Amino acid sequence: MYAQNVDTGVKKVRGADEMSADEAAFQARIDEGIKIEPKDEMPAAYRKTLIRQISQHAHSEIVGQLPEGNWLTRAPTLERKLILLAKVQDEAGHGLYLYSAAETLGASRDDMQADLLSGKAKYSSIFNYPTLTWADIGAIGWLVDGAAIINQIPICRCSYGPYARAMVRVCKEESFHQRQGFDIMHTLCNGTEEQKAMAQDALNRWWWPSVMMHGPRDGDSVNTAQSMQWKIKLFTNDALRQKFIDQTVPQADFLGLTIPDPELEWNEETGHYDFGEPDWDEFWNVLKGYGPCNQERLQARIDAEEGGAWVREAAEAYAEKQAARKAAAAA
Amino acid sequence: MTEAPNMDNARYEYLLQLGDSDLILGQRLAALCGHGPALEEDIAMTNVALDLIGQARFWLSYAAELKGEDADEDTLAFLRDAPAYRNLLLVEQPNGDYGQTIVRQCFYDVWHFFVLQALMQSTDTRIADIAAKSIKEVQYHVERSGDWVVRLGDGTEESHRRTQAAVDKLWRFTGEMFRSSEAEQALIESGVAVDVATLYEPWHAHMQALFEEATLTLPGDQPMQTGGKAGEHTEHLGYVLAEMQHLQRAYPGARW
Amino acid sequence: MSENSKKWPLWEIFIRSQHGLSHKHVGSLHAPDAEMAIKNARDVYTRRNEGVSIWVLPAEQITASSPGDREPLYEPARSKIYRHPTFFPMPEGVDHI
């Protein structure tokens, strides 16, 4: 998802009898559904994991502006241009809400961004794929935002108050994103032969990365188990992935598009779709920095940060001068 | 212009002037989305882009109605080549560093405000309505770009130097804003268009006060570059349009 | 980024919506000064017509109650149930009170 494979720093999830009194009291609050707030006492590992997860989520929103941003200057109509601008702008807003949520835990936005630019912090693998045609903008809205919503709605109920509240705001704004993507695909699929081919090509390229977006198979991941105990993750990667596939296949059918998975098949018994295995080597490679666009994405963020440094410094310097002038006038 | 402007042709040309400048500046700003100097500023500048392109749609839709046939806002935006574009040279200049982006914006915003203020009294009620709706947005643009000119001008030594350089670089495109095109001249007497020559003084006075606060120097008289309103553009516009019009040109007749 | 540059401070943002309710905390953002904080808040937190009035407050100026004081601060109020109108049952037939 937007936060993939977040390390909790624990080796083993402990039961109540293995916890200290403080830890047990903390876990009891979470189990009762009481939200944890910024100044509350919390285990260091909970704080650290949350900072990691929320900042990774924020980075994904910010880097996520870039693939779609490619097409802001090339959107085919003025209305599409406005819609896409509003959407990419929303992503900046979502990044901002999430950085703010992480800041309540004592992390500074500058430090988090420095970790992104140095390559220390990760962001979602999905944004390292290229947007080659206009149909990719449709596919991202439809598939990537569709997957994101499935992940984010449960986080509105997560245990950390500021994160939950940020997600409520994000989800409210996000609902138009997926629809605009589907609308682009729908228009293309009802267009010329070239447009239909463009839509199918986009689905072919974005399907597997979207399926992998939900993160690696659960297996017996200690991180997943710990995050679920803390209620900062509410469903397993596999459960979210299944939900995404079940929801998306009929939509692809409606569009008249073919999902590029020969093993995809409805299973009467389970009431879900069976599907093939994604290329997990590719997933790990992209996450480690060897995807098609990792270098471009990171460089774009570095350029923006470095190119903007003198602007931010100017505003700081002016604020200081103004404060000094005010003080002098008052003296 | 090849033919002598009659009233309707002049009105059409005038609407293109208003719409094209908004559109091209909006297009320039759209390219900055995701690349701004701070997250908050990125979001704020994108709002300006949204406003300008939204306003361009009003002007171009009206122009398309006058043109008739199958014209609409999109055929006008995506199927006219550079010589048929009527925008100011100022707005097609590259984003450059943020100093250049802000100075370009400030020059335009203040001019834009005075134009719309006058057009609220246009005898063409459709123009007056669009102006009244747009001016609320533009009032905010004026404040924002003004805030930034002051902060960059009176910020650090580096920001002062960069911003003054941007002023010196872009000044030669400001003269055109106050010279009426043939289309404008044909519409002034009937009260449809504003005589932009009358806007020079308030614009200049505003700039002088702002630049003084920003510790920047306004350049003096110098030869000005003109031609945008007549379709004679700088080299930059061709690239802007090549990118903007790519899909409509590559797939003629497709609906998006 | 130069090392000695002081960062834009954090501001807490409060917005009053159109429905006559009080200002409500909506989130935070960074800005170099109060004036820009107001403008950024307008651009960040009212993109969907959410408000008609904005307050900004430097985050460091906020004094918050301590979570450890929860009991002394809030327990006493809990026992004073007579402050709530539901404490007083009204006889049947008595309306509008």
Q: Give the model's confidence band at C47: pLDDT under 50 very low, under 70 low, under 90 confident, else very high.
A: confident
Report pLDDT digits (tens) over A61-116.
999 999 999 999 999 999 999 999 999 999 999 999 999 999 999 999 999 999 99
Chain B nearest CA to A18, separation (Å): 44
To probe the interface with C, which of B33, B39, B40, B144 has the most C CB atoms within 10 Å? B40
Q: Give the model's confidence band at C79: pLDDT under 50 very low, under 70 low, under 90 confident, else very high.
A: confident
Q: Do C47 and A93 touch (CB under 8 A)?
A: yes
To probe the interface with A, which of B75, B101, B156 has the most A CB atoms within 10 Å? B156
To probe the interface with B, which of A318, A320, A325 has the most B CB atoms within 10 Å? A318
Q: Do C27 and A313 touch (CB under 8 A)?
A: no
Q: Do A74 and B40 touch (CB under 8 A)?
A: no
Output the average pLDDT for chain A: 94
Q: Are A46 and A25 in contact (CB under 8 A)?
A: no
pLDDT at residue A34 is higher than 90: yes
Report pLDDT digits (tens) over A163-202.
999 999 999 888 889 999 999 999 999 999 999 999 999 9
Q: Do C8 and A166 touch (CB under 8 A)?
A: no
Report pLDDT digits (tens) over B182-204.
999 999 999 999 999 999 999 99
What's the CA gap between A143 and A157, in Å, rounded? 23
Q: DSSP labels for C24-69? A: EEEEEEE-SSHHHHHHHHHHHH-TTS--SEEEEEEGGG-----GGG
The beta-carbon neighbor of B152 closest among A92, A314, A321 is A314
What's the CA gap between C89 and C83, in Å, rounded? 13
Which residue is closest to C11 within chain B, CA to CA?
A: B40
Q: Are A236 and A224 in contact (CB under 8 A)?
A: yes
What's the CA gap between A199 and A133, in Å, rounded? 9
DSSP run (H or E) holding A17? none
Report pLDDT digits (tens) over A119-141.
999 999 999 999 999 999 999 99
Report pLDDT digits (tens) over B102-124.
999 999 999 999 999 999 999 99
pLDDT at residue C3 is higher than 50: no
Higher-confidence residue of C86 and A217: namely A217
CA C80 to chain centre: 25
| Residue among B115, B255, B247 at smallest CA distance from B177 | B115
**Which residues, listed in sequence order, are joined to residue C54 by a DSSP beta bridge?**
C15
What's the CA gap between A185 and A177, in Å, rounded? 13
Total length of chain A: 331
| Residue among B57, B78, B52 at smallest CA distance from B144 | B52
The beta-carbon neighbor of A69 closest among B34, B99, B248 is B34
Q: Do B34 and A65 touch (CB under 8 A)?
A: yes
Average pLDDT of the segment spanning C1-25: 79
pTM for the structure as a whole: 0.93
CB contacts < 8 A, A to B, total 140
Where along chain C do its domains lie? 10-87
The beta-carbon neighbor of B50 closest among A85, A96, A314 is A85
Judged by a CB distance cut-off of 8 A, whether residue A186 touches chain B is no
A 50-79 residues with CB below 8 A of C? Answer: none
Three-class SS of chain B? CCCCCCHHHHHHHHHHHHHHHHHHHHHHHHCCCCCCCCHHHHHHHHHHHHHHHHHHHHHHHHHHHHHCCCCCHHHHHHCCCHHHCCCCHHHHCCCCCHHHHHHHHHHHHHHHHHHHHHHCCCCCHHHHHHHHHHHHHHHHHHHHHHHHHHHHHCCCHHHHHHHHHHHHHHHHHCHHHHCCCHHHHHHHCCCCCCCHHHHHHHHHHHHHHHHHHCCCCCCCCCCCCCCHHHCCCCCHHHHHHHHHCHHHHHCCCCCC
| Residue among B220, B222, B247, B211 at smallest CA distance from B74 | B247
Chain C nearest CA to B241, separation (Å): 29
Would you tell me which CATH number, out of the four given (3.10.20.520, 3.90.1200.10, 3.40.50.970, 3.40.1350.10), belongs to the domain C10-87? Answer: 3.10.20.520
Q: Do C40 and B43 touch (CB under 8 A)?
A: yes
DSSP A144: I
Q: Please enumerate residues of B whose Cβ is less than 8 A from a Cβ of C.
A: 38-41, 43-44, 47, 140, 143-144, 147, 151
Q: What is the pLDDT of residue B148?
A: 98
Chain A nearest CA to C46, separation (Å): 11
CATH number of A21-279: 1.20.1260.10
Q: Give the model's confidence band at A301: pLDDT under 50 very low, under 70 low, under 90 confident, else very high.
A: very high
Higher-confidence residue of B103 and C20: namely B103
| Residue among A318, A128, A324 at smallest CA distance from A209 | A128
Average pLDDT of the segment spanning A240-249: 97
Judged by a CB distance cut-off of 8 A, whether residue A191 touches chain B is yes
Where along chain A do its domains lie? 21-279, 292-330
Report pLDDT digits (tens) over A143-161.
999 999 999 999 999 999 9
Average pLDDT of the segment spanning B14-35: 98
